[in-house]
């Protein structure tokens, strides 16, 4: 079992909405109906700066919590929801999988839970394994693994280890706000750099630019590429749907700075939500290309387990007039259910909407030059560095 220590952490100050960087691209505003809905949503939000509207019990908890109206209709002041971080000490850090639905067999997650608070995050249900809610707990009760760099160094030094690309950001974002304090991701990149080990990074945060001094040399050796997840250009929608992730304009600017530093960068439009942000796909890809992106991908919205009621609760608040149509499309893509991985993630695209999105993405990729094959990252340079003492580890 992993040992854990608990501490509280107040997130650092974020740039104000009016603050811009030189050359940062302007965000495209959403049509008036969504903008108006966003204002109403902000007023009704249960926790400022949080994505989930509720904190229902996880599916493995013995006791269940339910909100109810006591009829008094009195305004109650509650303390702002703090971010609590528990230090976790696992025995290993590289997670392996053999899923045919993903393009990698190993990954590292420096954190459990994610302070970005994206309402659609498919990783939310994993918090139930910790006896916590996939709702507000997922974005406010986090777990950090400070020993990750040391564990990684040990695993990469093992005689039986064979290198394959390590994927970062596949579950929760390695550059979420608490990374500024803990710097676990930076430690991991330092180890990978020392071993010449290839790594890919997916993030919604401009905090990745902090590590350009490590990423640029890796890129020169063809050992890394980065992907920015950009769901919308609408800052109102992004603020509600991804409340603590970097604003869209900063993500485009991050693409630009990565490209300028020689780090291969791409854009992931995800998730595509029918009736909410699907009309933005081509515009996002075009702006990403202008910023220096050289490849793209997309994902369709997935609503496993507790994510579905949390997303629907948010949707009824943010865009109630569109909620029924959005959910009808989602169920059409999942064989009539809110989510069916066997139906929606197989090799054959079954629903008309999913086929249309695939066709649109393919055509935009061809037009923007994103359809060129990417050179695989180089595995041949992997070398464990010599021990500092010059002698092998006695306990290897």
pLDDT in tens, 165-199: 999 999 999 999 999 999 999 999 999 999 999 99
Contacts of 211 (CB under 8 A, 6+ apart): 185, 186, 189
DSSP E strands, the chain: 3-9, 83-89, 95-96, 106-108, 111-112, 141-144, 166-168, 199-203, 224-229, 265-272, 295-300
CB of 167 closer than 8 Å to CB of 105 = no
pLDDT digits (tens, 9 = 90+) for 129-155: 999 999 999 999 999 999 999 999 999
The confidence band for 395, taking pLDDT boundaries of 50, 70 and 90, is very low
CA end-to-end span of the chain: 22
Tell me the mean pLDDT in the region 108-118: 98
| Whole-number Å distance between alpha carbons of 348 and 342 | 11
Residue 103: which pLDDT band, with cuts at 50, 70 and 90?
A: confident
Give the contacts of 255 (CB within 8 A, at least 6 positions apart). Answer: 228, 265, 267, 288, 291, 292, 293
Look at residues 117, 99, 125, 104 and name the one whose alpha carbon lies nearest to residue 47: 117
CA 267 and chain centroid, separation: 13
Indicate left, alpha or beta for 328 from its phi (over 0: left) and psi (-120 to 50: alpha).
alpha
Half-sphere exposure of residue 106: CA atoms within 13 angstroms, side-chain side: 15
Residue 296 DSSP SS3? strand
What mean pLDDT is predicted for residues 16-33? 42
3-state secondary structure of 9: strand
> Would the pLDDT of 34 be above 80?
no
Closest CA to 143 of 115, 175, 169, 111: 111
Least confident stretch, 76-90, 222-236, 273-287: 76-90
- Give tens-digit pLDDT for 231-284: 999 999 999 999 999 999 999 999 999 999 999 999 999 899 999 999 999 999
pLDDT of residue 70: 59
| pLDDT for 13 | 46
Residue 110 in this model has a pLDDT that exceeds 90: yes
What pLDDT score was predicted for residue 138? 98
Rounded mean pLDDT of 70-89?
A: 78
Where do we find the tokens 């006791």?
Answer: 63
Q: Which of 313, 304, 305 is nearest to 58 (CA)?
A: 305
Q: What is the pLDDT of residues 363-381, one digit of tens each?
A: 999 999 999 999 999 999 9
Higher-confidence residue of 1 and 108: namely: 108
350 vs 339: which has the higher pLDDT: 339
Three-class SS state of 251: helix
Domains of the chain: 85-368 (3.80.30.30)
pLDDT at 308 over 90: yes
**pLDDT score for 143:** 98
Residue 335: CB partners within 8 Å, gap ≥ 6? 343, 344, 350
Q: Please, what is the average pLDDT of the chain?
A: 87
Type and span of the H or E element at 327: helix 320-332
Q: How many residues does the chain have?
A: 396
**pLDDT grade, residue 9 (50/70/90)?**
very low
Q: In the chain, pLDDT over 90 holds for what percent of residues? A: 73
């Amino acid at each position: 079992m992993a040992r854990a220590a608990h501490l509280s952490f107040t997130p650092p100050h974020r740039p104000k909405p009016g603050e811009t960087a030189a050359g940062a691209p302007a965000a495209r505003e959403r049509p008036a109906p969504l903008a108006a809905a966003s204002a109403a949503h902000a007023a009704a939000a249960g926790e400022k700066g949080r994505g989930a509207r509720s904190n229902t019990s996880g599916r493995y908890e013995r006791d269940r919590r339910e909100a109810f109206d006591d009829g008094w209709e009195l305004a109650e002041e509650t303390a702002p929801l703090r971010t609590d971080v528990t230090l976790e000490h696992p025995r290993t850090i590289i997670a392996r999988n053999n899923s045919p639905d993903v393009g990698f067999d190993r990954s590292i997650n420096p954190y459990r839970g994610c302070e970005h608070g994206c309402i659609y995050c498919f990783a939310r249900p994993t918090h139930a394994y910790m006896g916590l809610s996939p709702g507000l707990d997922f974005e406010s009760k986090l777990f950090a693994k400070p020993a990750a760099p040391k564990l990684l160094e040990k695993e990469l030094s093992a005689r039986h280890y064979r290198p394959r690309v390590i994927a970062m950001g596949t579950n929760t974002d390695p550059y979420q706000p608490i990374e500024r304090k803990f710097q676990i991701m930076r430690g991991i990149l330092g180890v990978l750099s020392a071993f010449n080990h290839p790594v890919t990074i997916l993030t919604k945060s401009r905090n990745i630019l902090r590590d350009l001094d490590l990423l640029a040399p890796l890129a020169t050796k063809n050992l890394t590429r980065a992907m920015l997840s950009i769901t919308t250009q609408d800052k109102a929608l992004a603020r509600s749907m991804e409340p603590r992730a970097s604003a869209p304009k900063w993500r485009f600017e991050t693409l630009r700075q990565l490209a300028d530093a020689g780090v291969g960068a791409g854009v992931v439009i995800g998730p595509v939500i029918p009736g909410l942000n699907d009309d933005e796909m081509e515009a996002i890809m075009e702006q990403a290309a202008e910023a220096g992106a050289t490849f793209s991908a997309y994902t369709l919205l997935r609503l496993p387990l507790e994510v579905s009621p949390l997303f629907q609760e948010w949707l009824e608040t943010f865009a109630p007039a569109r909620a029924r149509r959005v959910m009808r499309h989602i169920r059409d893509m999942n064989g009539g259910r809110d989510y069916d991985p066997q139906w929606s993630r197989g090799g054959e695209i079954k629903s008309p909407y999913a086929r249309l999105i695939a066709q649109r993405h393919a055509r935009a990729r061809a037009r923007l030059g994103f359809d060129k094959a990417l050179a695989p990252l180089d595995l041949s340079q992997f070398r464990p560095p010599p021990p500092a003492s010059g002698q092998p580890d006695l306990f290897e």
